[in-house]
Amino acid sequence: MQKQQEIDLEAEKKEILKRYRALLRACKRSIQKGDKELIRKAFDIALEAHKDMRRKTGEPYIYHPIEVAHICAEEIGLGTTSVVCALLHDVVEDTDLTLDDIKGLFGEKVAKIIDGLTKISGVFDQSSSIQAENFRKILLTLAEDVRVILIKLADRLHNMRTLDSMKRDKQLKIASETLYLYSPLAHRLGLNAIKTELEDLCLKYTEPEIFNEIVQKLEAGEPERKKFISKFIEPIKEILSEQGLKAKIIGRPKSIYSINNKMKTKGVTFDEIFDLFAIRVIIDTSPEKEKSDCWRVYSIVTDFYQPSPDRLRDWISTPKSNGYESLHTTVMGPEGKWVEVQIRTVRMDELAEKGYAAHWKYKDSTSESQLDDWIRKIREILDNPQENALEFLDDFKLNLFAEEIFAFTPKGEMKTLPIGATALDFAFDIHTKVGEKCIGAKVNHKLVPLSYKLKSGDQVEVLTSSKQTPKEDWLSYVVTARAKSKIKNALKEERKKIAEDGREMLERKFNHLKIDFTVQNINELANFFKLPSSQELFYRVSVGNINLKHLKDFHQEHGKITHKSGSLNKKKETTKSFEQMVSSVRGKSDLLVIGENLKKIDYKLSPCCNPISGDDVFGFITINEGIKIHRVNCPNAVQLLSNYAYRVVKAKWTSQELISFLAGIKITGIDEVGLVNNITKIISNELNVNMRSISFDTNDGTFEGTMMVFVHDTDHLTELMKKLKKVNGVLAVTRMDSAN
């Protein structure tokens, strides 16, 4: 046995060395004098620090930092400093080495980045998420060094690639967190390849059946797609070559995640998606000819194939704010199929795949200033810390994934804003003071209200007044994190001033009634009115929401006031009972079995996704409504699992033969005589299913129907949907999320 173990350790040593050499090869293009020694020193320290540690897979822990460093070098294109930080990123947290030790060995820059990467430990207030606080800290460091977030993304990518060894509930939490935060961040930093892989891996773990089904269908159709692509490419290749343009043409399949997204949002099946792949033309040309050569290629492609006029996207003249440059068009290819064609240069392609890391290689000033612009906005948000980390996170996330529009100032300066941005967002983008004093705007010389949604190409003149101040309802007019945070700050300041007046009014009233104006007495009064803080009490007194006549109902003993009916403080009781509920639900097994005779635990099936027996589900502990059961693929699951993991309990179903669950079904098809009759006959006669509601709508020969039915479990529902699909005229039958 001992000998066997020695052989294994020997094999592991060889594997570690092999991975280390692969890392050095990946670093080759950016390595300079002395860098190799630095990487070796970091590797030796990490190897020693993690020597007795193993991952959940049973592999030596050192595999993880080596792979993270490899992703940084190979897939993101980062240099030596980042590789060193990636090798050491878990050392401070998991071993006795301190940040000061790191600083002494590798200098301040490395220590600072590792500090940003070190996870926060300690307990946070139950109303916020540890993950949200951790993320805030990463962003603070990101504002100084973008490499923090790039290494963090590499770390997350490797964790997602090795998620197989984790338990199901951990997989769901990590995948949801990734989809909620890390994938939008990768998108915002222009790391297209990493963003796509993260999304695909998230789908693999949150909805494995759908993922596997799409993979199988893609594999089955691959030979046919290859044939079609080569037929499409051939004539274009010939002409490009004749015209002396050096080009590489490839067919890129759409990501599994985006195929699934399209199926969901458009309500179509896999076979109905026409753009399962895109043709990418990558030309090798000099910087000064980039724009003209891309348009030359566009001209050649559209000479052969008819373009769709409304599907031209020019991100060469105005790149996306994450640095993405490309020319997209959709053309009618052979066999009457629409094909998306992306035209870009070698430089643009590398920027699209590796994002801002590649900008350093090309020293592209435009993209660098865009990155600086974005980081400046992050700094602004961080300078005004919200009390609630999750609120901050939601505001921040608003601007990560949003598609963009371009609007212009009267002098022609271009501003990039997310789709849905309003005239008020534009005002705050110019300057905080302009936003705060904004009373309206002229868009293309026409007067519009603050809430007017801008369109690309709009020219906006902001109108201001010195008497204007931000209002509470402004928060519903804006979508940018910058505007939201500035409005909240201004409102908070205004509230403080009003509260100050209220404090003086209350003090005068106390003096009049000969009551001591002490913190204890103020808190007693706030408790009586069920207010969260003394400041809220002062504010309400000032605006006249609180009747101070109630003070006569208090009596004072030894300087302390009490109400004749006793003190009221329900907030503490709620918190206490909530904490008790969390621990009683979690118990020893940490598993909630739905359908058992649970006397003490109150659970409800969530209406946002209508789970039924057999669905993959989890329980979410709410403060006032007991436990709510959600489907794993519920529209709200990503946010709940990502931000409130401590309130999530695993859940499974027991046999539910005697219980019926409400499920929604949507049916579309061709309107035929007797169709509704055939559908209802199957529901009530063949499968003994009870209906709660049914509605059909016909339009020019097509119909769409929705029905709410009671079923026992997912098998019962699947059987019903199969039978409905067989009815003449029915084209598609899908399950609806909520029972509206």
> What residues are annotated to the active site?
93-94
d(CA 115, CA 109): 10
Could you write out the DSSP letters of every residue in 76-133?
A: I---HHHHHHHHHTTHHHHSS--HHHHHHHH-HHHHHHHHHHSPP-S---TTS-HHHH
Segment holding 278, helix H or strand E: strand 277-283
Answer yes or no: are the C-beta atoms of 528 and 567 closer than 8 Å.
Answer: yes
Q: 54 forms bridges with which residues in the sheet? A: 60
Rounded to 5 degrees, φ, ψ at 576 are -60, -50
Tell me how far apart the alpha carbons of residues 115 and 111 are, in angstroms, rounded to a whole number.
6
Residue 354, burial from CB neighbour count under 10 angstroms (0-12, 13-18, 19+)? buried
Query: What is the 3-class SS of 684-720, one letter each residue?
Result: HHHCCCEEEEEEEEEECCEEEEEEEEEECCHHHHHHH
Cα–Cα distance measured from residue 74 to residue 30, given in angstroms and rounded to the nearest whole number: 10
Provide Rg for the chain, Cα atoms.
Answer: 30
- Exposed (0-12), middle (13-18) or buried (19+): which is 722, by Cβ within 10 Å? exposed
Q: Tokens in use for 145?
A: 């060094």
> In the 3-class helix/strand/coil scheme, how is 31-68 assigned residue by residue?
CCCCHHHHHHHHHHHHHHHCCCCECCCCCECCHHHHHH
H or E element at residue 594: strand 591-594
**Helix 2-27 vs helix 80-88: crossing angle, to nearest 10:** 160
Measured CA to CA, the distance from residue 186 to residue 322 in angstroms comes to 10
Six token digits for residue 278: 């895109």
Task: Let me know how many helices (H) and strands (E) the chain has, helices first.
Answer: 29, 22
Angle (deg, nearest 10), helices 80-88 and 99-106: 150
Cα 636 from Cα 45, distance rounded (Å): 43
Around Cβ 624, how many Cβ atoms within 10 Å? Answer: 7
Query: Cβ of 518: how many Cβ atoms within 10 Å?
Result: 13
> Residue 730: which of 674, 685, 689 has the closest Cα?
674
Distance in angstroms (rounded) separating the CA atoms of residues 649 and 736: 25
Integer Cα distance of 30 and 22 in angstroms: 14
Phi, psi dihedral angles at 478 (to 5 degrees): -115, 155
Tell how strand 617-621 and strand 627-631 pair up. Answer: antiparallel
